[in-house]
Chain A
């Protein structure tokens, strides 16, 4: 049987810049810090990097969301590229990862540098910015596409869009706020052992239940925290593995499918999201099964998205996530499925999926320090996105 393309590709380097709240450092400085560290981690020099990819590419707004574009990074490092891409569309925040895997497998490039940078915490120092948030005025542009169908009704925030999914889920299945809280409480317990995490103080169920509502049924502690920081990976051809100084982490499968409508409210079943399609795609590309996964790093921009990914990926049956996460034992670091072991985005900071993938690599390498999962994890899944956006990667230590 011929190998899947993914299985000819490895993660050779992984690194992060300083991570924090309101670092007030430039996005390019943070990006280059992470990129150079990742290249070094891969045992390479910048002359050997021949591919570059990022998400979402340079965007003017929201402030601090996009980080620098690939031309800026390329020029800053004087890279000579055979392949490069960035853009906001595709398989969520992991589109550049999934595309880089394909580019390496196809031979377009041998060593692809992939990065994601956010400076949202610094950008929001003077208050949030966004379309129509300052009370309006003639300078606010009219919106087309799906935003033009949601923003007129005050659905300004992704918290609103996620909330109506969660509400429908709670209507059809059993999921209590006490159960949902376990995603946030688990993240905080793990963040306490991660000195890069933003919120590390102990969090109780009582704290969760008394937190102010943002958009029912989601409260403040169901929402992740804006952060500053950059994460970078080097994705290389598997024949480089013999020269690597780090443990070899191989791609096992990726999932990028989107079969239902690409929408925040038009999907036939709003108790699921595009993640269901991407997850099915991923499992169709490997002989491994959900029960073979040792650790999971699942997108937690909002706690319910993690619940949704748990079901999409088949870690519990449809409608069974509430029972699965109840009490938090199964998802703890010593549970059957250690989840978001670095504190996720809820406590670690919104590094937009890349922090989760970085944590997966650290855990598989055995380099997660105090929070290292003790069961010698060999297979990890990382998944990013919500609503119509979804991408997932399955990694295995060689």
Chain B
């Protein structure tokens, strides 16, 4: 879908990413990026989201779940700048962040933040999702949200 070089690698190459083992429960989450959609299950009974995807709503135990697109916007709940070269195909340093999605305060993902210097990342920073494909997995990655009125709090 996207021809631009993948983020986070060395010499224009994509970094080697360990990929998730996709299950029937979480397939929409890992593949929704093909259509630009960040998908997580939302309960039709209690209207709450959950992550990671599970066969029952962990809040009310209802089975009435549907994958619904999220806005893809969130904030940095916490982060680290990884400096140690665990894997030589990653460009170092790189940011690993815990992202809190805007729809619900306990809806968190681990991801990377690209498109800004690592040292500029702060807790509370607004970010938005983009996707990169690795084999059949569309990984949700994040970049700083650029939008008028995007306040930092």
Contact = CB atoms under 8 A, between A and B. Distances in A.
A151 B82 CA distance: 13
Given A150-B110, A151-B18, A164-B96, A215 B87 contact: no
Contacts of A270: 77-78, 98
Contacts of A212: 83
Contacts of B88: 135
A156 B84 CA distance: 10
Interface size class of A (residues with CB under 8 A): 35 or more
6 closest cross-chain pairs (CB), A and B: A136-B16, A163-B80, A148-B20, A168-B78, A142-B21, A151-B18
Contacts of B106: 266, 268
Contact of B17 (A154, A214, A268): A154
B94 A144 contact: no
11 contacts: A130-B86, A135-B88, A136-B17, A149-B52, A149-B109, A151-B17, A157-B82, A159-B84, A217-B80, A266-B108, A270-B98
Given A154-B8, A160-B96, A214 B20 contact: no
B21 A143 contact: yes
Contacts of A362: none
B128 interface: no
A336 interface: no
Contacts of B141: 153
A144 B21 contact: yes
B15 interface: yes
Contacts of B61: none
Contacts of A131: 18
A216 B16 contact: no
Nearest to A140: B18
A152 interface: yes
B23 interface: yes
Given A131-B18, A140-B16, A157-B82, 13 more contacts: A132-B87, A142-B20, A149-B109, A150-B110, A152-B137, A153-B96, A153-B141, A154-B8, A155-B96, A160-B82, A164-B78, A168-B98, A213-B84
Interface size class of B (residues with CB under 8 A): 35 or more
A215 B106 CA distance: 24
Contact of B80 (A149, A152, A164, A171): A164
Contacts of B90: 154
B150 to A, nearest CB: 20
Contacts of A268: 106
A74 interface: no
A167 interface: yes
Nearest to A217: B80
